[in-house]
């Protein structure tokens, strides 16, 4: 079996020892929509949701991006667990390259993210009557997979450079706040102040959300979404390259 | 393919930290190790053994010099090196959330074993390491000693030509330790090269075909046990048991300027440097007007050699 397969097997084995975790991974975007999405929809209606869709439909792309962001953060936190029980350094002596180690680690989570998206779309259609663009499904799954990988590589940089997990937790809390709220996740950007809009437009999670929103409910301009998707892929590749470098410097 | 399992040339590793002077953890080491032997790397805490091992297992990059495993450079061909080694690092490294069995099977996958072979070898090893009853328990629920068994068992699961063991016997009971030592000897007979570090010198004395003693990042002695003992000619160990501990024994032992000495209930052990005739005089003096139940005079042990090479007056050099 290839080195990638071995890391995938390990991650799957570890994750499958905690079924609650898997259940939460798969259903939490839907739960978020049920609580937050339904709440906002009921309280505010869909006052500013772009494209004339209701808030649940608007929020779908955001919640999927939030899910891949969350999976990535959790996966990178496992570096601390592995370091604490010593297996991290031992694994670095196994017959696999540093890029294979990182890719293998995220592969299982990419699969979970895609599964999560499928479940959320299916149940979103049934429960919230969201008009899903099924023909764009491959593009959506690609957005989930690339997004999860990109955010994992991004977080891995910090998990590998920071030695104390309380410091890492503080960093992730700041990232959650900055990345999620300064983006198009919860609200359309057009009515927002210029400075906020500019901040959101350079935020990679906005690029991913726009990609997911376009490929799930068809909102967005295709050329702009294509540009954002390309920018996100570049962001993911840059993070991957730097995370590999950080892993190579682990001593 | 190189005739040596390990080749190290002018290896230097310097750790630099802000506001602290740089530390030369490995300071110009050069040595080679032939295949199929058990090679012991000995030294006091902070000697640089673990750093050296980390470089050899591709975990750390040297600052200067080169190291090769079976001819493959650890910096330029790390993957080729990793394909040929199995290592047990100092910490009890195990997959805590997986069972003992899954720990072995996961490792087998990493090492490229097919499933059937992995399962067959894992079952046999679990029997050998008395892990069968706990095979399905998560490692986080096992004691430290059992976790160590899981970790050490992994190196016997595969047939990599070089094995690195850092303090392998930590946390093992004497029976298991003996068993593992026998297994290591068997592996060396099959042609595998075992490189181990240990603080337990009797273990190295019994197990190693070739020993390198290092201190402060440098090699201070090298050779098999007999060669090393030549370095310590004139060192004697005396063990005596009295009917009751004589008054003033501590002072008497101190007056010998011993390499080491210990008093345990009514028994003493002392190692000191002296000419052969003088050693017998010391024993006679210690026994004078006292009832001696047991006496033993030995030549230098590895521990004596180690202490002589790495300490001055009982203090680290």
- DSSP code string of chain B: --SEEEEEEEEEEEEEETTEEEEEEEEEEEEEEETTSEEEEE--TTSSHHHHHHHHTTSS--SEEEEEETTEETTT-HHHHHTTEEEE-SS----TTSBHHHHHHHHHHHTT--HHHHHHHHHHHHHHTT-GGGTTSBGGGS-HHHHHHHHHHHHHHS--SEEEEESTTTT--HHHHHHHHHHHHHHHHTT-EEEEE-S-HHHHHHH-SEEEEEETTEEEEEE-HHHHHHHTTTEEEEEEEESSPPTTHHHHHHTT--SEEEEETTEEEEEEE--HHHHHHHHHHHHTTS-EEEEEEEE--HHHHHHHHHEETTEE-
Distance CA A23, CA A25 (A): 5
CB contact under 8 A, A1 and B112: yes
Closest chain B C-alpha to A247 CA, distance in angstroms: 10
Residues 6+ apart with CB under 8 A from A6: A94, A96, A104, B106, B109, B110, B112
3-state secondary structure of A106: helix
Distance in angstroms (rounded) separating the CA atoms of residues A52 and A58 = 9
Chain A interface includes B194 (CB < 8 A): no
Nearest to A1 among B78, B93, B109 (CB): B109
CB contact under 8 A, B93 and A86: yes
- Per-residue model confidence as pLDDT tens digits over A22-67: 788 788 777 877 777 778 777 776 555 556 778 888 889 999 999 9
Residue B29 predicted with pLDDT over 70: yes
pLDDT at B269 over 70: yes
ipTM value for the complex? 0.85
The answer to whether A16 contacts chain B (CB < 8 Å) is no
Whether A251 sits inside 8 A of B98 (CB atoms) is no
pTM for this predicted structure = 0.83
Is the pLDDT at B299 greater than 80? The verdict is no
Nearest by CB to residue A85, choosing from B61, B94, B112, is B94
Mean pLDDT of chain A: 89
Work out the number of other CB atoms within 10 angstroms of the CB of residue A20: 7
Which chain A residues are Cβ-neighbours of B87 within 8 angstroms?
A: 90, 93
Closest by CA position to B302, among listed B220, B213, B170, B197: B213
Buried b (16+ CB within 10 A) or exposed e, A213-225: bbbbbbbbeeeeb
Q: Would you state the pLDDT for residue A107?
A: 93
Q: What count of Cα atoms within 13 Å lies in the side-chain half-sphere of residue B273?
A: 13
* Chain A touched by B170 (CB under 8 Å): no
Q: Which pLDDT score, from 0 to 100, does residue B313 have?
A: 64
Q: Measured between CB atoms, which of B57, B58, B95 is closest to A87?
A: B95
Assign residue B177 a region: left if phi > 0, alpha if psi is -120 to 50, beta otherwise?
alpha
Mean pLDDT of A120-142: 91
- Which residues in chain A have Cβ-Cβ distances shorter than 8 Å to B89? 86, 89-90, 93
Could you read off the pLDDT of B132-166 as tens digits, one per residue? Answer: 999 999 999 988 888 888 999 999 999 999 999 98
Chain A residues near residue B60 by CB distance under 8 angstroms: 251
Q: Coil, helix or strand for A164?
A: coil
Decide if B265 contacts B233 (C-beta within 8 A). Answer: no
Question: Of the candidates B98, B110, B114, which has its C-beta nearest A14's C-beta?
Answer: B98
Contact state of A85 with B102 under an 8 Å Cβ cutoff: no
B98 close contact with A: CB closer than 8 A: yes
Give the nearest partner residue to A251 out of B54, B98, B111, using CB atoms: B54
Bridge partners for B270 per DSSP: B238, B261
Angle at which helices A204-217 and A55-84 pack, to 10 degrees?
A: 130
Question: What gap in Å lies between CA A245 and CA A218, rounded to an integer?
Answer: 38
Whole-number pLDDT of residue B223: 87
Question: In this complex, is the C-beta atom of A173 within 8 Å of any C-beta atom belonging to chain B?
Answer: no
Q: Give the angle A193-A194-A200 at the CA atoms, nearest 5°.
A: 95
CB atoms within 10 A of CB B142: 20
Nearest CA to CA, how far is A122 from chain B (Å)? 32
What is the reported pLDDT for B314?
A: 64
pLDDT tens for residues B72-87? 999 999 999 999 999 9
User: What pLDDT, on the 0 to 100 scale, is given for residue A237?
Assistant: 97
* Residues B130/B149, Cβ–Cβ less than 8 Å: yes
Among A13, A87, A94, the residue with its CB nearest the CB of B82 is A94
pLDDT of residue B58: 94
Instruction: Using a CB–CB cutoff of 8 Å, tell me whether A22 touches chain B.
Output: no
């Amino acid at each position: 079996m290839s080195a990638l397969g071995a890391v995938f097997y390990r991650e799957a084995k570890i994750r499958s020892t905690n079924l609650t975790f898997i259940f939460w991974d798969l259903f939490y975007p839907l739960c978020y929509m049920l609580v937050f999405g339904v709440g906002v929809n009921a309280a505010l209606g869909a006052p500013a949701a772009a494209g004339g869709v209701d808030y649940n439909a608007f929020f779908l792309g955001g919640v999927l991006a939030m899910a891949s962001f969350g999976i990535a953060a959790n996966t990178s936190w496992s570096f601390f667990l592995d370091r604490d029980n010593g297996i991290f350094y031992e694994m670095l002596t196994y017959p696999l390259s540093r890029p294979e180690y990182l890719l293998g680690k995220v592969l299982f989570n990419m699969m979970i993210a895609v599964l999560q998206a499928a479940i959320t779309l299916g149940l979103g259609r049934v429960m919230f009557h969201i008009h899903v663009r099924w023909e764009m499904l491959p593009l959506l799954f690609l957005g989930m997979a690339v997004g999860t990988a990109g955010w994992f590589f991004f977080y891995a940089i910090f998990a590998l450079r920071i030695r104390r997990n309380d410091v890492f937790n503080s960093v992730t809390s700041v990232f959650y706040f900055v990345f999620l709220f300064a983006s198009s996740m919860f609200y359309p950007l057009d009515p927002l102040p210029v400075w906020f809009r500019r901040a959101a437009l350079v935020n990679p999670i906005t690029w991913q959300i726009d990609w997911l929103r376009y490929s799930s409910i068809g909102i967005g301009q295709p050329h702009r979404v294509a540009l954002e998707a390309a920018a996100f892929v570049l962001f993911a590749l840059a993070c991957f390259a730097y995370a590999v470098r950080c892993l190579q410097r682990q001593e | 393919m190189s005739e040596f399992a390990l080749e190290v040339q002018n290896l230097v590793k310097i750790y630099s930290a802000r506001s602290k002077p740089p530390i030369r953890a490995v300071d110009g080491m050069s040595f080679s190790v032939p295949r199929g032997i058990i090679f012991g790397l000995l030294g006091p805490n902070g000697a640089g053994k673990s750093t050296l091992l980390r470089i050899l297992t591709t975990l750390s990059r040297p600052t200067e010099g080169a190291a090769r495993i079976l001819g493959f450079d650890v910096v330029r061909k790390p993957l080729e090196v990793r394909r040929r080694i199995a290592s047990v690092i100092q910490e009890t490294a195990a997959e805590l959330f997986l069972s003992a069995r899954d720990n072995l099977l996961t490792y087998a996958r990493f090492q490229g074993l097919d499933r059937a072979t992995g399962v067959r070898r894992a079952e046999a090893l679990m029997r050998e390491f008395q892990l069968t009853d706990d095979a399905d328990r998560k490692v986080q629920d096992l004691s430290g000693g059992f976790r160590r068994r899981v970790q050490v068992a992994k190196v016997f699961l595969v047939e990599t030509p070089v094995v690195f063991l850092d303090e392998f016997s930590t946390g093992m009971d004497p029976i298991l330790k003996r068993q593992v030592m026998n297994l290591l000897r068997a592996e060396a007979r099959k042609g595998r090269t075992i490189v181990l570090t240990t603080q337990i010198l009797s273990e190295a004395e019994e197990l190693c075909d070739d020993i390198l003693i290092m201190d402060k990042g440098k090699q201070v002695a090298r050779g098999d046990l007999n060669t090393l003992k030549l370095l310590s000619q004139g060192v004697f160990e005396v063990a005596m048991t009295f009917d009751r501990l004589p008054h003033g024994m501590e002072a008497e032992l101190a007056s010998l300027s011993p390499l080491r000495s210990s008093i345990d209930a009514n028994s003493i052990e002392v190692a000191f440097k002296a000419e052969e005739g003088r050693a017998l005089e010391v024993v006679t003096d210690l026994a004078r007007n006292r009832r001696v139940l047991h006496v033993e005079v030995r030549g230098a042990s590895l521990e004596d050699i180690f202490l002589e090479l790495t300490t001055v007056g009982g203090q680290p050099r």
